[in-house]
Structure 1
Amino acid sequence: MEIVQKHAMIDIGSNSIRLVVIGIDRDYFFEELLNFKAVARLSNYIDASENLSERGIAVLLTVLDRFQSIISRERKVTIVDVVATAAMRKAKNRDQVIARVKERTGLSVRLLSGLKEAYYGYYAIINSTFIENGISIDIGGGSTEVTMFRNRELIHAHSFPFGAVTLYQTYFASGDPQAESRLESFLKRTFSQFDWLVGQGLPVIGVGGTARNLAKIDQVRQHYPMVGLHQYTIPRERLANLTHELALIGQEARENMDGLSKDRSDIIVPASAVINMLVQMNSGETFTLSNEGLREGVFFEWMLHQRGVEKIPYVLNESIRHLRHNFNLDSSHTSYVKALAFQLLNGIIPVIVSKFSDKRMAWVLSHSADLAYIGEYVNNESSSAHTFYLLTNISINGISHHNRLALALVASFKNREKMLDFAAPYAGMASKDELKMYEMLGAVLRLAHDFDRTRQHVVDEVKVKVSKKKLLQLTAYYHDDAFFEEQAAQKHKKHLERALNLPVAIRFIKH
């Protein structure tokens, strides 16, 4: 990717301050280049007069000096966006602090309202996940933002004036043995005042450090095989058990807990309680992590404005666009193979014995075809293995982990044995019936790939007919020379025969 400009962003939060630098090319493909975090806990420096103390200002300026130094050494940085949230909102001397930041570092700080902060979290979720209806929560150090959205449209938003750090100070810092129950009562009273947070039965999506840590802990405990936190889902009951355990064990045990950042070992207790209470009161079944939140929401707002759109129309297609660009996929070939694959699928649907709908099979085949044999970018001879590895180890926006595994198994299909070998570590993520479907779709996709073996589009059409003798007859109509297409198809038709438990005959007819 040829980077033509860079977007630097500094997020001044109540618990931490973070710098992110994103590189962008002419077609608005982008990638994160740098990501640094400093734990500042500015909310701890709000004094009795509700001002950010001199010590707190010194901490802030030291971090911003360091970040500004990094930015100044980066070439092609055209935008530096600095946003501040709850701690700065609460500080009565915020205008003076912002002025001192400008004077010392040259950075202009944009103070976000609570509702704007909530909006950016929602905006990141709808532009980076598969979730169209849900309740979002972003619990920071000094505030908690929630939204409710349906059909990807924002319906409600609110910012609560409490966060992980302030709740810890209020309920847990003194060692009160009743802290957990007192906090629970407070949260019930608070959330019950908003009917759109109660009994909606929607998935809850969390952004920010607390949500990430809960996902990390759960993945470690589940021995989760797939790489990536983004769009990882925890069932409601498991979240409740984890929240209760975090409150019961001591500080030292939390500091040594795999998946939990040491700098969050204290504030994770009230923070997880907030998330768990929202999930329970909402009566949803799951809690899902969005690894993209405030910062990404700010970036998406700028980037999509440059492209002239309000939101990404279909997030998964945007991700596929990025992957095809990054791995130099031949779009002409993949589109051609996809069309042939659907000619095959539509023809064999009458003989498919499956528990899954035609729509489900078409969805899996369509997106698998978009990314088929992406591993050729690494090595052509072992493209199947590399395809599976890439698709299970790259975070892909707009698709659940379950569906990402489906695409990986179909897009990398070589034969039944290899597919089952790939699937073995993911035993809990795909049923036997699903594996049968993936085998059939993989065999279809591989055969379609064979029909364009030379990548010269010599096969114009494939017709499918099922004879009375239960023979699947495929007729490929071609022009010019289809020698290598026929050779590959005849060699690999056995995979479709095994998947359908039917004999397959292929003939090639020249126009």
Structure 2
Amino acid sequence: MKLAAIDIGSNAVRLQVTQVHYFRGKYTFKKLEYLRFPLRLGRDVFLKKEISQENKIRFKELMKAFQILINLYGVDDYMACATSAMRESENGKEIVKEVRNDLGLKIRIIDGNTEAALINKSLGNHIDHKTYLHIDVGGGSTELNVYKKGLKVSSKSFKIGSVRTLDKALPESALRQIRSFITNHLSLEKTVTGIGTGGNINKIFELARLQKRGSLLEIQKIREVLHLLESLSSEERINLLHLNEDRADVIIPATKIYLIALDAAKIQKIKVPDLGLKDGMLLDLFEKNYGTENTNFPYR
């Protein structure tokens, strides 16, 4: 079976097509296609409360291209989810309706809790009986999740993200809420391990020169990367660090949000498993088609 996930974020839109294999009693996923297109819907929405006509046209063309790929790959089932930019846009529902009518492509505008739940679905193999704080910083929102003894005990979505705070100071009200959430749930814990997901923490991991994905990233390394990023112009980040243009600006506010959450929890090391919303969506599709009893399998 082939499955596809479309993640419509605030800074970019992603498509992944995956093949489900069953071999010697185990299910695994094999990535067939992954595309990331830098369409920054959040810039429109967080400034003007709606998606511009220009980006609306580009978005519909992108959905047409993704639909063609889905059809060419012979995908059996797909899920398309839109997050904070689309859900806060005054014309978001209208655009989703137009895409459905014109292309037959169904898009769900999901709330922060659903977004967090889907992201967490992909983390199963990375959660053991220790205490974890999972942090996912997106373009428009930040999701925090607390795990204890293998179970998620609390989850909250905060209205702060890398695109939303671009060219402005991080909002103190949102930072207080983040610190308060962490204090309430983790202040009595002796040791907390961080788990970071999202494109920016993955890029920070690469910039820290960690070659082995399973390695834990020390918080001091994140501070060093932030210092390097802040010492360079946007043009230097693009050309010397080989960052994409749409990554070169948002990575700094995103890094600051990660550090604020990590410091509040007194975390010294963080896992960066290179998973996110699209991976949770694919697992959700798998459960829908195969049944929840079959979901304990290695994901790749």
What is the TM-score when the length of structure 1 is the normalising length? 0.53
Q: Which residue of 2 aligns with 1:256?
A: 239
Structure 1 vs Structure 2: percent identity of aligned residues? 23
The answer to which structure has the higher helix fraction is 1
Q: 2:282 aligns with which of 271, 290, 299?
A: 299
| Contact 1:20/1:32 (8 A) holds in 2 | yes
SS at match of 2:165: helix
User: Over residues 391-429 of structure 1, what are the superposed CA-to-partner deviations in whole Å (9 max), with x where a residue is unaligned?
Assistant: xxxxx87xxxxxxxxxxxxxxxxxxxxxxxxxxxxxxxx
Q: Does residue 125 in structure 1 map to residue 129 in structure 2?
A: no
| Contact 1:124/1:300 (8 A) holds in 2 | yes
Between stretches 10-19 and 232-241, larger displacement belongs to 232-241
Hey, what's the Cα distance between the residues in 1 that align with 2:185 and 2:162? 19
Q: Does residue 9 in structure 1 map to residue 9 in structure 2?
A: no
Q: Does residue 192 in structure 1 map to residue 192 in structure 2?
A: no
CA gap of 1:39–1:243, structure 2 versus 1, over 3 A, is same
Hey, what's the Cα distance between the residues in 2 that align with 1:159 and 1:218? 27
| Contact 1:217/1:259 (8 A) holds in 2 | no
| Contact 2:143/2:158 (8 A) holds in 1 | yes
Hey, what's the Cα distance between the residues in 1 that align with 2:215 and 2:173? 29
SS at match of 2:145: strand
Deviation at 1:284, TM superposition (A): 1.3
Which amino acid counterpart does residue 103 of structure 1 have in structure 2?
N
CA RMSD of aligned residues (A): 2.4
Unaligned segments of structure 2, at least 5 residues? none
Q: Does residue 54 in structure 1 map to residue 90 in structure 2?
A: no
Q: Which residue of 1 aligns with 2:20?
A: 24
Which amino acid counterpart does residue 57 of structure 2 have in structure 1?
A
- 5 Å-filtered alignment, 1:17-166, equals 17-25=13-21, 28-46=27-45, 50-75=49-74, 77-126=75-124, 128-129=125-126, 131-132=128-129, 133-166=131-164
CA gap of 1:47–1:193, structure 2 versus 1, over 3 A, is closer
Hey, what's the Cα distance between the residues in 2 that align with 1:43 and 1:257? 27
Unaligned segments of structure 1, at least 5 residues? 172-182, 313-317, 320-395, 398-511
Hey, what's the Cα distance between the residues in 2 that align with 1:114 and 1:11? 14
SS at match of 1:164: coil
Q: Which has the higher contact order (CA 8 A, sep 6+)?
A: 2
Q: 2:292 aligns with which of 288, 291, 308?
A: 308
Deviation at 1:257, TM superposition (A): 3.9
User: Over residues 330-374 of structure 1, what are the superposed CA-to-partner deviations in whole Å (9 max), with x where a residue is unaligned?
Assistant: xxxxxxxxxxxxxxxxxxxxxxxxxxxxxxxxxxxxxxxxxxxxx
Deviation at 1:55, TM superposition (A): 1.9
Hey, what's the Cα distance between the residues in 2 that align with 1:131 and 1:114? 25
Q: Does residue 203 in structure 1 map to residue 203 in structure 2?
A: no
Hey, what's the Cα distance between the residues in 1 that align with 2:247 and 2:17? 24
Hey, what's the Cα distance between the residues in 2 that align with 1:64 and 1:262? 22
Which amino acid counterpart does residue 45 of structure 2 have in structure 1?
I
| Contact 2:21/2:30 (8 A) holds in 1 | no
Deviation at 1:26, TM superposition (A): 5.1
CA gap of 1:225–1:86, structure 2 versus 1, over 3 A, is closer
Deviation at 1:232, TM superposition (A): 3.4
CA radius of gyration, larger in:
1
| Contact 1:216/1:259 (8 A) holds in 2 | no
| Contact 1:52/1:94 (8 A) holds in 2 | yes
Moved over 6 A (4+): none
Q: Does residue 273 in structure 1 map to residue 256 in structure 2?
A: yes
SS at match of 1:157: strand
Deviation at 1:123, TM superposition (A): 1.8
Hey, what's the Cα distance between the residues in 2 that align with 1:162 and 1:253? 26
CA gap of 1:48–1:186, structure 2 versus 1, over 3 A, is closer
| Contact 1:9/1:20 (8 A) holds in 2 | yes
User: Over residues 125-157 of structure 1, what are the superposed CA-to-partner deviations in whole Å (9 max), with x where a residue is unaligned?
Assistant: 12x425543111111111111111122311111
Q: Which residue of 1 aligns with 2:216?
A: 233
Hey, what's the Cα distance between the residues in 2 that align with 1:98 and 1:87? 12
Hey, what's the Cα distance between the residues in 2 that align with 1:187 and 1:107? 35
| Contact 1:187/1:274 (8 A) holds in 2 | no
What is the TM-score when the length of structure 2 is the normalising length? 0.88
SS at match of 1:107: coil
CA gap of 1:254–1:49, structure 2 versus 1, over 3 A, is closer
| Contact 1:254/1:260 (8 A) holds in 2 | yes
Which amino acid counterpart does residue 129 of structure 1 have in structure 2?
H
Deviation at 1:90, TM superposition (A): 0.6
- 5 Å-filtered alignment, 1:351-430, equals none
Which amino acid counterpart does residue 71 of structure 2 have in structure 1?
S
